[in-house]
């Protein structure tokens, strides 16, 4: 449900509120909020329709109540999504940080107190706390976003259509990306066994942690690129792509290298004994992780340039290719075949994407590594300066 909101609501609001004239700001925000409410209404109908059916199919009577409680969270996600997008559009990343911390910390406090004081609770209590945590995050977000809020009761049909047209592709991209990132696990479970998924999953979880900087920088890179692209055009897209990928590569390369070398003890620490096959899977996943910044930033650049449809087709192509390759690789190689399929897919998409982005905005591939070297150099000098200044202070 939140994936739908992020793709269909957030991305269009951020893009159009930054590239259009300031006089359209209120109209865009108002149209986005109405679209948000319409999407939520469809989600509520879907939840009500499926709650009884799915609880029977999965033989889980409790699921019905969880779905119904989630309706509260679904309604609360209207302002949560709206406030988050507005803060992103106004480059107020600190506000989003505080609201996300408030949401996660509220849930964490409840679970921690229950654990330490041995408080027993029912499953539906977690659903209630989940909704309450969203409410807390909404209140925090409102405090940080209130100066950027604007609304008009005269809602523009033109902007509703414009946002929906753009949003359907960014939503499709999010769905295709989810399929791309999870199809290997799904196919392992279907073609081999749940035990195969158990062996494969620890490597993917570790890889996901390493990819966090890529995801974080992308959320910052998108509005930053929009603000520059609106005034400078393609040269801004070229410059920011090269610098952002360079910074990400500079950060990830040493982390990936260390993880590959120490894959054995890392897997033992995270998953325990009996996961020998996971070690090689993790190494392949780390190599794949080095390609992700290149591909992700291509997608962000295309979305910022208004080419969301092209980005959607790129990710859809990758998802289809990964399904095809995983099917044959798993049959031939077994569990590790899923990792081979993902790596092959990303290598192919990397080669094509770099060719495309070079033709589109003139990206110089070597500049990426130049920026990566400069960033590592600055970082090393920063660390040395920090350490030496601390030593001088101790002597004084």
- What is the residue-wise DSSP string for 100-156? HHHHHHHHHHHHHHHHHTT----HHHHHHHHHHHHHHHHHHHHHHHGGG----SS--
Average pLDDT on 368-392 reads: 74
| Residue 247: predicted pLDDT | 85
The SS3 assignment for 306 reads coil
The H helix count followed by the E strand count for the chain is 15, 0
| Residue 37: predicted pLDDT | 93
> Within this chain, do residues 296 and 335 fall inside the same structural domain, yes or no?
yes
Decide which of 121, 155, 189 is a domain's last residue.
155
Tell me how crowded residue 119 is: count the other CB atoms within 10 A of its CB.
11
> Within this chain, do residues 198 and 141 fall inside the same structural domain, yes or no?
no
pLDDT digit string (tens) for 294-337? 888 898 888 888 888 998 999 999 999 999 999 999 999 998 99
d(CA 323, CA 303): 25
Would 115 be classed as within a structural domain?
yes
| Residue 239: predicted pLDDT | 87
What b/e sequence results for 138-151 when a residue is b if at least 16 CB atoms lie within 10 Å of its CB, and e otherwise? bebbeebbeebeee
Would 362 be classed as within a structural domain?
yes
What is the extent of the structural domain holding 244?
181-387
d(CA 292, CA 298): 10
> Within this chain, do residues 76 and 195 fall inside the same structural domain, yes or no?
no
> Within this chain, do residues 186 and 132 fall inside the same structural domain, yes or no?
no
Would 218 be classed as within a structural domain?
yes
The total number of structural domains that make up the chain: 2
- The model's pTM: 0.78
| Residue 329: predicted pLDDT | 92
Would 165 be classed as within a structural domain?
no
d(CA 180, CA 214): 17
> Within this chain, do residues 371 and 324 fall inside the same structural domain, yes or no?
yes
| Residue 108: predicted pLDDT | 93
pLDDT digit string (tens) for 259-307? 899 989 988 888 777 788 889 999 999 999 888 888 888 988 888 888 8
> Within this chain, do residues 147 and 196 fall inside the same structural domain, yes or no?
no
> Within this chain, do residues 99 and 214 fall inside the same structural domain, yes or no?
no
Would 168 be classed as within a structural domain?
no
> Within this chain, do residues 241 and 352 fall inside the same structural domain, yes or no?
yes
Centroid of chain to Cα 243: 20
> Within this chain, do residues 120 and 202 fall inside the same structural domain, yes or no?
no
Structure-block tokens of residue 80: 């949560």
Q: Are 9 and 36 in contact (CB under 8 A)?
A: yes
Residue 390 — very low, low, confident or very high, per pLDDT cuts 50/70/90?
Answer: low
Q: How far apart are the first and last CA of the chain?
A: 57
Decide which of 155, 189, 218 is a domain's last residue.
155
Structure-block tokens of residue 223: 């509005």
| Residue 21: predicted pLDDT | 81
> Within this chain, do residues 19 and 137 fall inside the same structural domain, yes or no?
yes
Backbone angles phi, psi at 170, to 5 degrees: -70, -35
| Residue 106: predicted pLDDT | 93
Would 163 be classed as within a structural domain?
no
Distances (CA, A) of 1 to 5, 6, 59, 64, 248: 7, 9, 22, 17, 29
| Residue 32: predicted pLDDT | 92
Q: Tell me which residue of 300, 302, 137, 311 sits closest to 220, measured CA to CA.
A: 300
pLDDT digit string (tens) for 47-76? 888 888 877 776 778 888 888 899 999 999
Give Cβ neighbours of residue 8 (< 8 Å, ≥ 6 apart).
Answer: 35, 39, 164, 167, 168, 170, 171
Tell me the DSSP string of 152-220.
-SS--HHHHHHHHHHHHHHHHHHHHHHHHHHHHHHHHHHHT-HHHHHHHHHHHHHHHHHTHHHHHHHHH
d(CA 217, CA 211): 10
Is the model more confident about 35 or about 380?
35
- CA dihedral (278, 279, 283, 289) positive or negative: positive
pLDDT digit string (tens) for 223-233? 777 777 777 77
Residue 386 — very low, low, confident or very high, per pLDDT cuts 50/70/90?
Answer: low
> Within this chain, do residues 210 and 301 fall inside the same structural domain, yes or no?
yes
In this structure, what is the dihedral angle of CA atoms 240, 285, 207, 184, given to the nearest 10 degrees?
110
> Within this chain, do residues 142 and 186 fall inside the same structural domain, yes or no?
no
Q: Are 171 and 311 in contact (CB under 8 A)?
A: no
| Residue 391: predicted pLDDT | 57
Would 117 be classed as within a structural domain?
yes
Tell me how crowded residue 389 is: count the other CB atoms within 10 A of its CB.
10
| Residue 393: predicted pLDDT | 57
Structure-block tokens of residue 65: 């109540």
Would 393 be classed as within a structural domain?
no
d(CA 343, CA 268): 23
pLDDT > 90: percent of the chain = 31
Backbone angles phi, psi at 156, to 5 degrees: -80, 120
Average pLDDT on 379-387 reads: 70
Q: Are 36 and 16 in contact (CB under 8 A)?
A: no
pLDDT exceeds 90 at position 88: no
């Amino acid at each position: 449900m939140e994936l739908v909101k992020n793709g269909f609501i957030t991305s269009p609001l951020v893009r159009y509120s930054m590239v259009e004239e300031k006089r359209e700001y209120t109209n865009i925000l108002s149209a986005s909020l109405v679209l948000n409410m319409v999407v939520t209404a469809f989600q509520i109908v879907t939840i009500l329709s499926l709650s009884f059916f799915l609880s029977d199919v999965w033989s889980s009577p409790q699921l019905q109540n969880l779905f119904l409680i989630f309706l509260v969270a679904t309604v609360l996600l209207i302002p949560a999504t709206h406030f988050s997008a507005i803060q992103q559009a106004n480059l107020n990343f600190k506000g989003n940080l505080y609201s996300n911390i408030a949401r996660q910390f509220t849930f964490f406090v409840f679970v921690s107190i229950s654990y330490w004081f041995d408080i027993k609770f029912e499953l539906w209590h977690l659903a209630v706390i989940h909704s309450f945590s969203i409410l807390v995050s909404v209140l925090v977000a409102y405090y940080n976003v209130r100066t950027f809020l604007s609304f008009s009761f005269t809602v523009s049909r033109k902007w509703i259509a414009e946002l929906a047209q753009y949003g359907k592709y960014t939503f499709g991209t999010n769905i295709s990306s989810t399929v791309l990132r999870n199809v290997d696990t799904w196919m392992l479970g279907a073609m081999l066994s749940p035990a195969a998924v158990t062996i494969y999953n620890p490597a993917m979880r570790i890889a996901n942690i390493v990819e966090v900087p890529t995801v974080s920088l992308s959320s910052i890179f998108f509005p930053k690129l929009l603000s520059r692209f609106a005034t400078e055009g393609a040269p801004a897209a070229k410059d920011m792509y090269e610098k952002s990928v360079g910074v990400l590569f500079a950060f990830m390369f040493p982390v990936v290298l260390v993880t590959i070398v120490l894959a054995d003890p890392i897997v033992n620490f995270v998953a325990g004994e009996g996961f020998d096959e996971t070690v090689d899977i993790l190494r392949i996943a780390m190599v794949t992780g080095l390609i992700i910044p290149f591909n992700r930033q291509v997608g962000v650049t295309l979305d910022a340039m208004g080419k969301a449809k092209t980005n959607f087709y790129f990710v859809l192509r990758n998802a289809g290719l990964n399904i095809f390759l995983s099917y044959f690789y798993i049959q031939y190689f077994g569990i590790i075949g899923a990792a081979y399929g993902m790596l092959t897919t990303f290598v192919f998409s990397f080669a094509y994407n770099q060719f495309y982005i070079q033709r589109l905005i003139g990206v110089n591939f070597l500049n990426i590594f130049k920026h990566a070297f400069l960033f590592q150099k600055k970082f090393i000098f920063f660390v040395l300066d920090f350490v030496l200044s601390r030593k001088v202070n101790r002597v004084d």
